[in-house]
Amino acid sequence: MTRRGSYAKGIAKREEILATALEVVDRAGFRGASVRELADAVGLSQAGLLHYFDSKEELFTAILRKRDEVDTSRTDPGADMVETLLDVVRHNAETPGLVQLFASTSVAATSDVGHPAHDWFVDRYANVLAHLAGAVRARQDAGEIDPAVDADRLARVLVAVSDGMQVQWMLDPEVDMAASIELVWRLALAAVGSGAGATGASGTA
């Protein structure tokens, strides 16, 4: 019972740390959210904080996982993946520190297969791409997108635009990230019956 109780307390403390870390990173920005500041925010020493995580990198990876959980909980379960993506991107504009953390960690994880976040990013992108492609195919079945359009490729384009606009937004906060993604989506919808989808597909196959 004692061991179970200790384990449960450990899980609860970890969740408390992550919830607080989201607020600290959002407020102080990625660069300003040091391990010391995060530890102070939850009343622990730096060593005490890292007792719950294997490393600083693992801590920041866990923060990103928690951010995704929070984003998922606040999105409309009835919305398709494109609408969900747009909603999340609009919300991201209100949380610059977390966007900075995501961008910085993604670069580090991409260049280092041993990084704690590497496998998480691989799985995350695969999941997002699969759901976006599913949303595209649903629109194709409904006659709203040219069936000649490669759904997987369009999904990758939407993710690429999302990531690229995120970089531009970090350089210039006046940039509307969601509007640019929505533009690409509207162009895909507008291509129905125009022949543009079929030409594009055959030209890039």
Residue 200 maps to which CATH number? Answer: 1.10.357.10
Question: From residue 76, how far is each of 52, 106, 129 by CA, in Å?
Answer: 32, 26, 19
Average pLDDT, the chain: 89
Q: In this structure, is residue 127 part of a structural domain?
A: yes
Note the pTM of the prediction, 2 decimals.
0.85
pLDDT interval class at 205 (50, 70, 90): very low
pLDDT over 90 for what percent of the chain?
77
41 contact partners, CB below 8 Å, separation of at least 6: 20, 21, 23, 24
> What one-character DSSP code corresponds to residue 69?
H
| pLDDT score at 129 | 98
| pLDDT score at 193 | 55
Q: In this structure, is residue 80 part of a structural domain?
A: yes
User: 98 is in which domain, residue-wise?
Assistant: 58-204
| Contact present, 116 and 147 (Cβ < 8 Å) | no
pLDDT in tens, 186-196: 999 997 755 44
| pLDDT score at 173 | 95
Q: In this structure, is residue 141 part of a structural domain?
A: yes
pLDDT in tens, 92-125: 999 999 999 999 999 999 999 999 999 999 999 9
> What one-character DSSP code corresponds to residue 150?
-
* CA geometry: angle 178, 129, 125, nearest 5 deg: 90
Domain count, the chain: 1
C-beta atoms surrounding 93 within 10 Å: 15
pLDDT interval class at 78 (50, 70, 90): confident
Q: In this structure, is residue 34 part of a structural domain?
A: no
| pLDDT score at 86 | 96
pLDDT interval class at 197 (50, 70, 90): very low
Across 58-62, 161-165, 192-196, least confident range: 192-196
Q: In this structure, is residue 37 part of a structural domain?
A: no
Q: In this structure, is residue 2 part of a structural domain?
A: no
Q: In this structure, is residue 26 part of a structural domain?
A: no
| pLDDT score at 1 | 42
Q: In this structure, is residue 22 part of a structural domain?
A: no
- Arithmetic mean of pLDDT, 6-33: 88
| pLDDT score at 19 | 94
Kind plus residue range of the DSSP H or E element containing 45: none
pLDDT over 70 for what percent of the chain?
91
Question: From residue 155, how far is each of 3, 128, 201 by CA, in Å?
Answer: 46, 9, 14
| pLDDT score at 194 | 52
| Contact present, 201 and 150 (Cβ < 8 Å) | yes
Across 80-94, 139-153, 179-193, least confident range: 179-193
